[in-house]
Amino acid sequence: MAVLEPRLLPLIEILVELGLDWLAVELVEGLQRGEEPIDDRKASEQYASSSGGGTLLQGVDQLQWAAQYVDKRLRSALDQTSHSLDALDQIAAADAIELVLRTDEQKDTVDRAGLDHARAQLSRLSEALEAWVRSAASDFDQ
């Protein structure tokens, strides 16, 4: 089991604050098992059945892996949602489908405009994660 790089804590905290605790858990468990990033298509099945066995990362390598993992998993979630909306568009023969996700505590609505906005924000997040890793790497070099 790898010792987590303390500089990962702000990323993990932000994910939890944003309601992405599932991603924070996957991230930590993947690092502890030494996992390689998983395939987008069957991410949840592969994650659930994975036994790890990869290389345990240390220091800035953990940060790089974490940044790539978060980016990949969020892109995968957006792609899956987009495919769901495409399928619903075909079934309903409509162009303005709105997907409503409801739990006991919360109701979230997703439509094309929301997906487009999320993709734009994800690009900004990717850039911010890359800058974070570069900054941390320069701190390691000093």
Task: Note the pLDDT tens digit of each residue in 12-25.
Answer: 999 999 889 999 99
Q: Which of 66, 61, 69, 20 is nearest to 43 (CA)?
A: 69
Domain assignment present for 12: yes
Domain assignment present for 78: yes
pTM for the full predicted model:
0.77
Domain assignment present for 38: yes
Looking at per-residue confidence, does 104 or 74 come out higher? Answer: 74
Domain assignment present for 115: yes
What confidence score (pLDDT) does residue 2 get? 72
Q: Which of 18, 49, 21, 15 is nearest to 33 (CA)?
A: 49
What confidence score (pLDDT) does residue 37 get? 54
Identify whether the C-beta of residue 33 lies closer than 8 Å to the C-beta of residue 80.
Answer: no
CA atoms of 105 and 126, how far apart (whole Å): 29
CA atoms of 118 and 105, how far apart (whole Å): 22
Name the band, by pLDDT with cuts 50, 70 and 90, for residue 68: very high
Domain assignment present for 49: yes
What confidence score (pLDDT) does residue 88 get? 84
What confidence score (pLDDT) does residue 70 get? 95
Domain assignment present for 1: no
Domain assignment present for 89: yes
Looking at per-residue confidence, does 49 or 13 come out higher? Answer: 13
Looking at per-residue confidence, does 1 or 47 come out higher? Answer: 1
Domain assignment present for 25: yes
Secondary structure (3-state) at 3: coil
What confidence score (pLDDT) does residue 142 get? 55
Domain that holds residue 26: 6-141
Count of the separate structural domains present in the chain: 1
Mind listing the pLDDT tens digit for each residue in 76-133?
999 998 898 888 888 887 767 787 877 777 788 888 888 999 999 999 999 999 999 9
What confidence score (pLDDT) does residue 41 get? 40
